[in-house]
Amino acid sequence: MQQQERAERAAQGARHAERLAAADVVAVALTWVDNGGITRVKAVPTAALPRAAAWGVGATPVFDFFLPDDSITGGRFSAGPTGDLRLLPDLDRLVVLAAQPGWAWAPVDRWTQEGGPHPQCSRAVAARLTERLAAAGLTARMAFEVEWVLAAAGGSGPGFVPAMSGPAYGMTRLVERSDYAADLLRALAAQGVAVVQFHPEYAPGQLEVSVVPESPVAAADTAVLVRTTIRAVAQRHGLRVSFAPTVVAGEVGNGGHVHLSIHRAGRNLCGGGDGPCGLTKEGEGFTAGLLDRLPALLAVAAPSVASYLRLVPSHWAGVYACWGPENREAAVRLVTGSVGEQADAANVEVKCMDQSANPYLVVAGLLACGVAGIEQGARLPEPVYADPARWSAGERSARGVVRLPQRLEDAVAAFRREPVLARAFGPELADTIVAVRDAEIARFAGVAPDDVVAASRWTH
């Protein structure tokens, strides 16, 4: 990076620092997400923001090899304890945190000391894929649906006591936690997060919030900010939260569904077309590109052993590699929108992902697979209008509907075979993702589901 750019960044940092100090902000939390889906942080006092903006904050590259339990694995591209990266805050995304008085937040890009993006920076990879899309004249809009379980603060024990007893989608549940919910919505609004909907979800103590779609990197940033806010508001109410894929073995889990649409020259390619169910030709190619590669994508989008305890048929988690309009049991649901708004509102919801995933890797992976589908002119199979779990095995195979990987091992094997993702992530990051997944698999080898769930319940 040129000295000129450093000076501009420092000046931008100084402008923000002045504003933050006037708002009584003491420090700025700078976050990134590791390959195991944990949001890691380094903070700087507000007065140190200009320097951090220009030169970044030091961080070891070994964070790339962290597991959710904070153990550290090795890999071909690990330098062990040596080396240093610079965490460069994106000040365009800086916000004052409404539920953490005295704090602001900004996501970071991880740079090398030489002054360019670290090859394993997932946020930079997501930005690069977005640029690749732009070079083809396309833009993408994405949003993560955030589901979480609210628990009574039961100390730091591994158990789980839901913070509400009311039924799924029940008004009772909302009444029980009315103040919490209002504080949460207030905090999100104060932080500029545009919420579309909030509701009690199916599983005990479960809630969900959905937000408006944004550009891919912004959507991943928002996912981090929304989860941080949900946690912070809960903390202020003496509650605790879990975003884990499985909170109770056998129950419906927490998904991390992604809604996405692609656009050319302001036109939504997911609706108003003459392809299947209103998709345009390119919309079909994009959707087929990601549908074809879901097994490999799961290695980034359902990256924990606990993820596969969530991916159970008939739990709305989308465990069959098929697509269908408004089908909540298809891994890819085409959301058509209501008559009159379809050309605008249509989008594709990918349901099999969860929030133990790094959202930057998820958006990057989806873009890479979708674009490959467009380039190859991929076509979709017949849409599915039912829950494939209700069909016999013979019926599923006659219709070509297969189950997604049922173990992390199988997703990793598919990932290793998928050149599109290897190319998108680059050799270093692709190799490290496999190393971290292999270590996660080894960590839970032979461990019973209940124990996997207990060990994973409070990490995400």
Question: Nearer Cβ to ligand GLU, position 16 or 351?
Answer: 351
Length of the chain: 460
Question: Nearer Cβ to Mg ion, position 123 or 333?
Answer: 333
The one of ligand GLU, Mg ion, none whose footprint includes residue 310, by CB under 5 to 8 A per kind, is: ligand GLU
Question: Nearer Cβ to ligand GLU, position 98 or 151?
Answer: 151
Q: Which residues contact 412 (CB under 8 A, 6 or more apart)?
A: 299, 434, 437, 438, 441
Binds ligand GLU by CB under 6 A, chosen from 34, 64, 109, 147: 147
Binds ligand GLU by CB under 6 A, chosen from 317, 357, 412, 433: 317
Residues 200-239 that bind Mg ion (CB under 5 A): 208
- Does position 205 interact with ligand GLU (CB under 6 A)? The reply is no
The one of Mg ion, ligand GLU, none whose footprint includes residue 458, by CB under 5 to 8 A per kind, is: none
Question: Nearer Cβ to Mg ion, position 50 or 205?
Answer: 205
- Does position 143 interact with ligand GLU (CB under 6 A)? The reply is no
- Does position 173 interact with ligand GLU (CB under 6 A)? The reply is no
- Does position 306 interact with ligand GLU (CB under 6 A)? The reply is no
- Does position 460 interact with ligand GLU (CB under 6 A)? The reply is no
In order of 96, 268, 282, 305, the CA distances from 245 in angstroms are: 29, 31, 32, 9
- Does position 354 interact with Mg ion (CB under 5 A)? The reply is no
Which of the stretches 85-93, 161-169, 251-259, 288-296 binds ligand GLU when contact is defined by CB under 6 A? 251-259
Question: Nearer Cβ to ligand GLU, position 311 or 371?
Answer: 311
The one of Mg ion, ligand GLU, none whose footprint includes residue 252, by CB under 5 to 8 A per kind, is: ligand GLU
Tokens of 356: 């133990």
Tokens of 260: 């996405």
- Does position 200 interact with ligand GLU (CB under 6 A)? The reply is no
Site string for ligand GLU, 254-283 (x = CB under 6 A): -x----------------------------
Q: Which of 75, 33, 138 is nearest to 362 (CA)?
A: 33
- Does position 77 interact with ligand GLU (CB under 6 A)? The reply is no
Binds ligand GLU by CB under 6 A, chosen from 13, 253, 273, 278: 253
Closest approach of ligand GLU to the CB of residue 66, in Å: 25
Binds ligand GLU by CB under 6 A, chosen from 15, 51, 190, 316: 316
The one of ligand GLU, Mg ion, none whose footprint includes residue 282, by CB under 5 to 8 A per kind, is: none
Closest approach of ligand GLU to the CB of residue 194, in Å: 19
Per the CB < 8 A criterion, the answer to whether 272 and 337 are in contact is no
The residue ranges that bind ligand GLU (CB under 6 A) are 147, 201, 252-253, 255, 310, 316-317, 328, 351
The residue ranges that bind Mg ion (CB under 5 A) are 208
